[in-house]
Structure 1
Amino acid sequence: MRAPIIMAFLRGGFKTPTLASVSGLVTFQNWNEPLQTHLALTDDPTEMIVVWVTKNSSNPQVKWGTASGDYTHILDADSSSYSASDMCGSPAIDFGYRDPGLLHKAKLSGLQPGLTYYYTCGDQQFGWSQEFSFRAAMPAFFETTTRVSAFGDMGVAELDDSRQIVSPEQPAINTTRLLNYYRDETDVVLHIGDIAYAVGYAATWEEFFDQVQSVAANVPYMVCIGNHERDFPGSNGLFNGTDSGGECGVPHERRFPMPRPALDQAWYGFDYGSAHFVLMSTEHFFYPGSPQYQFLETHLKAVDRTRTPWLIFAGHRPMYIDSTNYDIPAGDQTVARELRKYVEPLLNEYRVDVAFWGHHHSYQRTCPVYQEHCTEGATTHIVIGMAGKGLSKNVL
């Protein structure tokens, strides 16, 4: 948000706040310091996308090479942003809005499989970020272990457990620490919805990227969209709740350049080594005839299992879940029934090995199952929505 701020210390909590002290004006030494750096894969394993944010720098670039500090390539970045008018409701369009600055995106190409690359982003006038590194993706055909850190529903927390706009997600600190601990042993991070729980407060997105940068700037960070990124009345989604705080998917899609077919089509696939990944949106229509259903059917059918023998699927709301929530239309069991009716036949026909889900803040795992019966060779479903938000207790 790159704005001068004054910090206040309050006693008495949110219900009976009493002002105890106020700081002086705090501002930036470098308004265009590169921040919020993160990586994303494309549908081409020889490419990697680098994303970062500044206030308004005019010549953003990435310098990169195969040796630390020796950058043999330099690449101009594309820049974009979004405004309050791009979103659809409060608080995202009014008191929760802060100028996100410029979002810069550079696509590195011609990468060699498994080779480590070093890079820095920024510009000549305002300076460069610290150095980060990543391993280029392993293409299909490679008989190699693919290591994935997968989870959902993480959010943001402060180390000192201070102010939270929404309910605390303190376990997110533990998840982030584990991601950092296993960073060098991880090929892909898969965050399947309910990313930052910003719910219309732009500053929370910045807190989130600061929290995960040490991981996401070194390992591709791939995401699904969840209800707390997308859902809002009248936004042409599947559900009309207010869970996104008026964001309607805009910050999520602009900040995470996944290889989607188009804006507001939050479904895609990519290869990594011996695995092909397919990610859906449970917040958009997935019925036969819908754009998402057509994509899933065509995409799953086209997967060559001689090239990528493992087929991994993911979405936010679960297809199988132990939950007492039968609310209509968005209850856990209500949505699970619809997913089993329309999407599960595709998973069965195209022999999906594993499906990851979030939304319910718990860990759950099924047998290989089809149409609610354990079936040899069917898909195993794993709910992993326990990365930060308070655990769900509505189990049977």
Structure 2
Amino acid sequence: MKSTKAWFAGAVAAALAVTGLAVASPAAQATAGEETIKLCGRVPTDGSTCSIAIDSQFLTTSPEEGVTLHVSVRGVPNVTVSLSAIVYEVRDADNRVMFAPLSDPVMVTPKKVKASDTVGVARASIKTRALPGEYTSQATVAVQPSDWRPVRGMVLNSADRYAGMDRVSLVSKRPRDRGFEAVPTKDGAFTRLLYNASSSGRYSVQLKQGTKWVPLDVNGPVQGAGAGITKLRGQLPVGLISGRYEMRVVNVTHGQTGLTPVGTPQQFMDWQLAMDSKLFNVYTTPGTWDLNGRKWRTTCEAYSATERCRTEIWATQILYQAGQFNRLDGWAFNNLTYKPSPRALWKGNPVGGNGTVGYRGEWTATDGRKWRVECDTATSGRNGCRAYAMAKVAEPVSAGATTYRVVDKWLFNNIVQFT
């Protein structure tokens, strides 16, 4: 326990030694601010003449930023001193101690309990502010005299000479996005990390497509785990083409969107879609592709509340021209695909099964063309419909024949996908 209490003293000593300031322990610190001298009567070397102890309930939990800390103060009787909450971090990169004030100063005057006492006591309540952005991932807070600096004497938490400075770990509604635990797999699965995410919020990882932010959460927004690590499991969308994408993490409960630092590696993801990825779909991935020995070409465009993709295939077509059949190689229409949208959007439209689960039907359009559709079958797949149109096509009169005839056939025409 003693070594645990002394952690910050050792960390500060090590950090300051690295930066060229020889501070080996609290006892070795040679200077102190005026407020510390007022409280302790001298440069503090232990906790015999002064101490600042944060109430235990704050030390054993991880309260949220903005909390009011309650402290017990011991010091020179009848001398008013200024106390403040201070947030600090020992940086891993260079061991420097970074710190910032986290409250307005609070004036405290220790009083004797008995006339014979040499040390006065007081209670104080200190309202912390919202954490500065650079401290939202590793927010350690202490209460010290308002002019405290790492090079000045620190006030310990008791008369125990081995004791350290009381410290509280605060959690934030704005925890800093720490980026990927590992880059997304070829099938688009990934985990994003947050540190010290307040359990009062739920957090979502999102990707920007065009002007829209698209949630990628596997099971919806995740509740913050408090102190420590919160893991956000996500999945990139089917058909996401190769490129650089902006990403962010947001607190959807409290409307906090600035969790991903601008200009950092966390802000962007470079994605390369592989054709053997589960995310590749020749019907919804724009581009020209060689797949299964055939050439495919897909383009997509906005359509109502979703996107519609047109897929063509390089094929030999039999065309009836000037009284004869001719063979022509080129791009031929294959089908249309409507990307996932709510089933309710297709009410009144038989191509989407009129928005009804398991729909099957046939109809004749106003132009006289016949159609049929099936939804949620083994052929269409769950949450989808396939539509076919009756068309006249040329086919050989027999296998291997070079003469043709015109017949009516059902031709695959489009796919509708539901969310």
Structure with higher strand content: 2
TM-score of Structure 1 vs Structure 2, range by shorter chain: under 0.3
What TM-score results when the alignment is normalised by the length of structure 1?
Answer: 0.24
Structure with higher helix content: 1
The structure showing larger relative contact order (alpha-carbon pairs under 8 Å, at least 6 residues apart) is 1
